[in-house]
A and B are shown apart, each in its own frame.
Chain A
Amino acid sequence: MIKRIAYLCVMILMVLPLTGCWDYIPISQITIVSGITIDKDQASNEYQLAFEIYDVKSSSKDEGVKPKIIDSTGTTIFEAIRNAKSKLSNKLYFGAAQVIVVNESIAKEGMKPIIDFFLRDKELRETTKLVISQEKSAKDILTSEYTDEKIISTQIDSIITEDAKVTLSTVNSSLYQTYNILKSEEISLVLPAFKNNKKNNITITEANGIAIFKEDKLKGYLFPEETKYYSFVVNEVEGGVLAFENINSDIKKISLEIVSNKTRLSYTYTDNKIKMIVEPKVNVHLGEIEGYFNSTDEKQIQKLEETTGMLLGENISSVIKKVQTKYQTDIFGFGNYINKKNPKLWNKLSSTWDETFSNLEVEVKPKIAIKDTSQIK
């Protein structure tokens, strides 16, 4: 019996060192951080961090939780976070942090040093979203007024997740994806960009397209409308609306609701010249028409499909062209695709890919299929 109990004790004791880190931190002794912004003071080269925290002590149940901004500075990000502690009675808790907003001037210098701490920190989730601020100071994003959520970070988080699906005006990017992209050579990073919009003395933060990177340095932006066509190329379209003008003499304006999309990439390699072919296959519902259209006529539908497909193709092409000429960075992942399909070819191309990309011939062959005309009786 004593032997059995001894065995049991040994077995249980063995379990303890095998587990990860644990510690007793009562829930009442943590300060929950919802978002972090990072600025840099150019003169002193110090990081200026602002934390949006849930102000649980002074908010009441009925009104909901109010946010509170805590500032701190430090030579490194870690030090700045430790310095912030001295202003609070409780420990900062990053497990619930939703966004990290980075000032664009820091992003121009490079993202790698910024995300290093956040990837090493054990508390912060790797799914935390990384956002580029187009304001002079990233902190301004957090001090904007709220529209539906009191916590600005939560609002930014839901704008990104919803807009990436519904309006295609931004992209979803978490910390671990950013890190993976930065590690690979074949694809360039894009991050959602946010700016404040001032109307009637109310400042509201909103998504403003995407920020384009070359390696880890910020190069420029795509507008929200352009971001939509970027999404078609990278096959990230889950919904959204396509609106076109002046289709033909009968139809002035038209909106197509995207039901599903599948973009196929392919390439041809002839005479040392590479050509990419982008084929988005879009299923749409007819959402809205200004003008005359007989939705029972097969021919008219077919014609409409062709014209809208052409217009979509033009739009996508122009976005690709813009990136090729203005930024020369492969955010579409063409290189990644070639690497996967034909690694030998990629080995040949990789050294001069930036040049090749900017002169790359890209053919866009979209196909729109109207699945439902939602006829009005």
Chain B
Amino acid sequence: MFGFNSKNKKNVIDEKLKQIQIEVNNDLLSSSIEKNLSTLKEIFVDNDVLVTRPIESDNKGKLNYLIAYMDGLVNSVIINDSIIKPLMLIDLEKQKKISMDTLINSVVMINEVKKTQNWAEIIESINYGDSILFMDGEAEALILNSKGLQTRAISEPESERNLKGPREGFSEAIITNLSLVRRKIRTNELKMKFYTFGERTKTKACVCYMDSLVNKNILKDLYKRLDKIDIDGVLGSQYLSELITDCRWSPFESIGNTERPDVVVGKLLEGRIAIFVDGTPVVITAPYLFVENFQSSEDYYLNFYYASFSRLLRMLALIITLIVPAFYIAIVAFHHEILPTPLLVSITMDSSSVPFPTGIEAFVMLIIFDVLKETGIRMSSNVGQALSIVGALVIGQSAVTAKFVSAPMIIVVAITGITSLLVPKMNSANIVCRYFLLFCASFLGLEGLACGLLLILIHVLNLKSFGVSQFVPMRSIKYQEIKDIVIRAPWWQMITRPSVISTDKVRLKSSGENTDD
């Protein structure tokens, strides 16, 4: 009985909501303030944040206005000084007829004003921090820009620190973020096109590119994919990233992301496209080449020898973090011959009293390491200290003394863990591939490892980002193609842009030597 009732009730509410929706969509504004107010109240029923403020301008004549806005989203100073004050002080005798246009042209002191007759538009802007001004006798309303969002200050992004480069990072407000980019590229070639995603969140996003550098086919492809998106909400750029990516199931990234304006500008200047999403400091860029996993913004600010070295280190770290646990298992369980005798004896001594097979041991230890790492990231920093003690002592020292795990295994896990931190952009790929290789190696030894690596290699070579093969530049051995891949060439050699991405090839027009002849 009860169930039937509640279901019935729910249906009724649903229908009512639907009705309002239809009205909102079809109905235009009325010329009576009272009616508009009641419609507004009806739309925002049970929504006490909405502030409606009637104003009577009594200065030699009488006119009624109504201001509506969302509390907290607006800047009160603007509303007080630039909207309410001029409206109250308006000299009605001087004006023959007060129309909406007169208000726009000579009364309200607001930079961005828009006329509308549509309720849907009103709802969207009122939710974005604009104020709505209704006037008696007009079937129109003004959307006045009075946004006063509280935003975070510009600070250095935690995830991408650097020593010598700029320290600014994106924040959550899209306009601020765009301004950070615009500040670095002062040309009309920089295009910024707004999009709105999310049926309910109505999140603003901005597609940003350099008109003369971008590959138009890639841009067209991107628009096509963006147009297809129909989702109820977008809270972060990863939402879009996963919706428009080429290889949906791949653990490897095919769309880049960054929190740094300088990185975005660097990518724009190579002909890539950036997508800003409101409410997140993370900006995504496309197309994405495999080598971008190893690039860091710091590379371009430091001496090229050092930068090249650290880039090579990152590549080495990737190989180590993927292979080391699997290689260890393969050797210890299958190919003892590889080990030099003293090492063989020492490993045998260590693992002779360990209860579990090496494969399971490695698996468990790697999981424990990942647990520690995850807690380290999510915990507040106060707990961090306790965590490191637990990690170092319990997992390391005590586990070995208690003969749960062998000491070489701890070393292997530690090496794997440390090196994985060097390529943070490949976290998901790291985890998937590492456990996959571990699985292969513990069944088939080095043969399994080789097969597993082959599979990964085949997959990686097939990766695409907006139709561009992620490995394309590495197939060529021309110096200009690989100058920014394995090494970071000095800037005077960075003559061309990545050929697959940009249409305009030459980046550096003066590459001659600096000699005084």
Contacts and interface: CB of A to CB of B under 8 A. Distances in A.
Contacts of A96: 336, 341, 344-345
A242 interface: no
A27 B345 contact: no
Contact of B358 (A15, A26, A34): A26
B332 A27 contact: yes
B358 A56 contact: no
Interface in B120-160: none
A93 B333 CA distance: 13
Contact of B455 (A12, A26, A59, A61): A12
Nearest to A96: B341
A28 interface: yes
A25 B455 contact: no
Interface stretch (A16-24, A103-111, A337-345, A369-377): A16-24
A30 interface: yes
B30 to A, nearest CB: 58
A65 interface: yes
A56 B344 contact: no
Interface string A29-57: 01010100000000000000000001011
B337 A25 contact: no
Looking at chain A's contact residues, is the secondary structure mostly helix, strand, loop, or mixed?
Answer: loop
Interface in A1-16: 8, 12, 15-16
A23 B335 CA distance: 9
A123 B334 CA distance: 12
A205 interface: no
A172 B354 CA distance: 39
Contacts of B347: 27
A61 B334 CA distance: 25
Contacts of A154: 341
A28 B336 contact: no
B351 A27 contact: yes
B334 A56 contact: no
A16 B447 contact: yes
A27 B337 CA distance: 11
Nearest to B406: A28
Interface string A164-188: 0000000000000000000000000
Interface string B172-189: 000000000000000000
Given A24-B333, A25-B333, A95-B337, A30 B444 contact: no
Nearest to A24: B333
A8 B445 CA distance: 20
**Among the interface residues A28, A59, A65, A95, which one has the most CB atoms of the partner chain B within 10 A?**
A28
Interface string B316-358: 0000000000000000111111000100110111011110011
Interface in A203-256: none
Interface in B339-379: 341, 344-345, 347-349, 351-354, 357-358
Contacts of B411: none
Interface size class of A (residues with CB under 8 A): 20 to 34
A329 interface: no
B173 to A, nearest CB: 43
B477 interface: no
A26 B447 contact: no
Contacts of B333: 24-27
Nearest to A157: B341
A98 interface: yes
A56 B348 contact: yes
Contacts of A56: 345, 348-349, 352
Nearest to B355: A28
A65 B344 CA distance: 12
Contacts of A65: 345, 349
Interface string B393-430: 00000000000000000000000000000000000000
B458 interface: yes
**Among the interface residues B354, B447, B455, which one has the most CB atoms of the partner chain A within 10 A?**
B447
B89 interface: no
A125 B351 CA distance: 24
Given A32-B345, A54-B345, A57-B352, A22 B444 contact: yes
A11 to B, nearest CB: 8
Contacts of A125: 337
B336 A22 contact: no
Nearest to A122: B337
B448 to A, nearest CB: 9
Nearest to B354: A28
B334 A23 contact: yes
A32 B349 CA distance: 11
Contacts of B450: 15
Nearest to A93: B336
Interface in B419-469: 444-445, 447, 450-451, 454-455, 458
B447 A15 contact: yes
Q: Which 5 A-B pairs have the closest CB atoms?
A: A96-B341, A56-B349, A28-B351, A27-B332, A95-B337
Interface of A: 8, 12, 15-16, 19, 22-28, 30, 32, 34, 54, 56-57, 59, 61, 65, 93, 95-96, 98, 123, 125, 154
20 contacts: A16-B444, A16-B447, A22-B335, A23-B334, A24-B333, A24-B334, A24-B445, A25-B336, A26-B351, A26-B357, A27-B333, A30-B336, A30-B348, A32-B345, A34-B341, A56-B349, A56-B352, A96-B341, A96-B345, A123-B337
Given A24-B333, A26-B332, A27-B332, 18 more contacts: A16-B447, A22-B444, A24-B334, A24-B445, A26-B357, A27-B333, A27-B348, A28-B353, A30-B348, A32-B345, A32-B348, A56-B345, A56-B348, A56-B352, A61-B349, A96-B336, A96-B345, A125-B337
Interface of B: 332-337, 341, 344-345, 347-349, 351-354, 357-358, 444-445, 447, 450-451, 454-455, 458
